[in-house]
Structure 1
Amino acid sequence: MQANKKPNILYSCYSQKNSEGEQFIAQHNLGFMISGSSEHFIGGEKFVFKPGDFRFFKRNQLTRWTKFPPAGGEYRSISISIDQDTLHSISEEYNLKATGFDHCPGAMLLEPNNLLKNYIDSLGPYLDGNNEFNKGLTNLKVKEAVMVLLETNPELKNVLFDFSEPGKLDLEAYMNEHYKFNVDINRFAYLTGRSLAAFKRDFQKIFNTSPNRWLQQKRLADAHYLISEKGWKSSDVYLEVGFKDLSHFSFAFKKTYGIAPSRIGTLT
């Protein structure tokens, strides 16, 4: 399953208020925080990164993030997406293979060192804000990122050169942890190590309903609690529980509970 094509080297810069979102991390990623800070929730763990931090994310993960610009300043970061084609090429050229189990967490704070610092500095002349890089140069810089990581963090070899697809996971536990992520059923099937047909079959056996119906009811129940018990507005809650569209959320909510979500507060 291929993710939408994005630049391999991405420079983020903005001065707006805190930004929140979710993301499927399709490829391994090396990042550097220039200014501001960020929080990421991956697999039930919270990771916090501050200015000057080097960070590494493993591929095939879902994350919820919040980015915080500094007071009166800009949030700025650099991220390098390490694609599988580049890793396969390096593996063949240098005969590098995964030789053990991957025991690394979903995200890592890397120890600063001169190699990492010099590598990030070398990207400076090309970061003009439009994220447009010469393809040949980009390929070389991504390959250089891999070699720097192997030199500074050799334990990452078993992560970078593990080309296996996600293994079969405990479906019930995974879905109860990740149901708020607004990804399609194909993505959930892939991340739990199943074909789409096997995912639907296993899901029916465990939850006694279809994936789409279960996801909608689970998200609506969360929304009802947040609105009726916590005083959230429907315009704030729909993204939090995994809906992309406010009108669709409102329609589904009213159909399930017999009342528009915006009216719940007026009845108390």
Structure 2
Amino acid sequence: MKTQIVENIMFSDEKAKTFDSDQIVPELTLSFMVSGKKHLRFSDFDVVGEPGDIALIRKNELIKSIKMSDDEGFSYKSVSIFFTPEMLQDYAKNHNIPTTEKYKGKPYIDLTQSKFIRAYFESFMPYFNQVSKLTGTVASIKSLEALELLMNHHPNLEQMIFDLTEPYKIDLEKYMNKNFTFKIPIKEFARLTGRSLSTFKRDFKKTYNETPEKWLREKRLDEAKYLIVEKKQKPSDVYYHVGFENFSHFSTSFKERFGVNASDILDIS
């Protein structure tokens, strides 16, 4: 099945080890892990997912995700609900909830202990074999049910859920030094730092005296060299972590920058 999406509900079933290429969470996401293993890497902390884990993840969060089967061969399976701005705006309007406050709390909230939300996700299990039975109407009803459960049993999450504000202008240097390993388009770095693309490039040039593309490439390769030489990590384990989509591209870029294959650099260090 791999990945199937009905409206704003996504079913994932990955039998092989999968490195997600999409590293930005576009909408507020409520996720339930059914089976397998998952490693989530945020900018400053990691989460190792286990079957039964339930989490609420902030919109616009940058995450690297590695999904794989568990030791017993069970494939990675999960169900995720994406709450669109329109859906949240309608709910907020009907319940007189403010949507103009900027949420500055944790990006990842563990809801694994919620028996109500667990029971909610268990109702999705029959759809794994018959996704076509989940109609758009049912998906809308299930999404509203999820919001009701979150608000009724976790009212302290209100500000996180209903933050519909746009990213505001923040310290570009601090943000880039913290998030350079995430493989997202330059226009998304601009948006997330509260800038137009042209303003972002102008501010970037003032800060680093370099283009974003070149700076990112060299910064990622320098980080890769550090991890290989100083931390004794394998090149095959490093390339995804530092922001390359595939090992071949990483190997070519590494040799171009340092004049040696990544696998041979330890021999000359």
So what's the TM-score if we normalise by structure 1?
0.84
CA distance in 2, matches of 1:111, 1:256: 45
Contact map agreement 2:15 2:68 (CA 8 A) in 1: no
Q: What does residue 116 of structure 1 align with?
A: 117
Query: Which secondary structure does the structure 1 equivalent of 2:89 belong to?
Result: helix
Q: Does the CA-based 8 Å contact 1:29-1:80 persist in structure 2?
A: yes
Distance across 1 between alignment mates of 2:87 and 2:257: 48
For residues 47 and 231 of structure 1, what CA distance do their matches in structure 2 show?
Answer: 22
With 94-103 and 70-79 compared, the bigger mean Cα shift is at 94-103
Q: State how far apart, in whole Å, the 1-side matches of 2:208 and 2:29 are.
A: 35
TM-score of the two chains, using structure 2 as the length reference:
0.83
In the alignment, structure 1 segments of 5+ residues that lack a partner are: none
Residue-by-residue CA offset, 1:69-89 (whole Å, 9 max, x unaligned): 332142332211111121122
Shift of 1:12: 2.5
| Separation (CA, whole Å) in 1 of partners of 2:241 and 2:114 | 38
Q: Give the secondary structure class of the aligned counterpart of 1:88.
A: helix
Equivalent position of 1:26 in the other structure: 26
Question: Does the 8 Å CA contact 2:204/2:211 hold for their aligned counterparts?
Answer: yes
CA distance in 1, matches of 2:162, 2:222: 41
1:133 CA displacement = 3.2
5 Å matches for 1:79-98? Answer: 79-98=80-99
Q: CA 1:233–1:70 in structure 2 vs 1: closer, same or farther (change >3 Å)? A: closer
Once the two structures are superposed, what CA deviation does each residue of 1:29-70 show, in whole Å capped at 9, x if it has no partner? 111222344332324123344333321111001012344533
Residue 205 of structure 1 deviates from its aligned partner by: 1.3
Q: Structure 1: which amino acid aligns with 2:85? A: Q
Identify the residue that residue 126 of structure 1 maps to in structure 2: 127
Q: What's the CA shift for 1:131?
A: 7.3
Q: Provide the aligned length of Structure 1 versus Structure 2.
A: 263
Deviates more, 1:139-148 or 1:49-58: 49-58
Match of 2:177 in 1: 176
Matched, 1:198 2:191: no
After superposing the two structures, state which structure 1 stretch, 49-58 or 111-120, moved more. Answer: 111-120
Change (3 A) 1:131 1:231: farther
CA distance in 2 between counterparts of 1:161 and 1:68 reads: 32
The yes-or-no answer on 1:225 pairing with 2:226 is yes
* Residue aligning to 1:53: 53
Distance 2:50 2:104 in 1: 24
Q: Tell me the CA shift for residue 204 of structure 1.
A: 1.1
Alpha-carbon shift at residue 151 of structure 1 (Å): 0.8
Counterpart Cα distance in 2 of 1:234 and 1:49 = 24
Identity of aligned residues (%): 35
Residue type at the aligned position of 1:120: F
Alpha carbons of structure 1 residues 42 and 252: separation in structure 2 relative to 1, 3 Å: closer
- Larger CA deviation: 131-140 vs 143-152: 131-140
Once structures 1 and 2 are overlaid, which stretch shifts more, 44-53 or 92-101? 92-101
Q: Deviation digits for residues 184-221 of structure 1, max 9, x if unmatched?
A: 10111111111111111111111111111111111122
Looking at structure 1, the residues matched to 153 and 256 of structure 2 have their Cα atoms a distance apart, in angstroms, of: 56
Aligned to 2:209: 208
Aligned residue in 1 for 2:38: 38
Cα deviation per residue 1:94-138 (whole Å; 9 max; x = unaligned)?
332247553531101115344313321322332326577312221
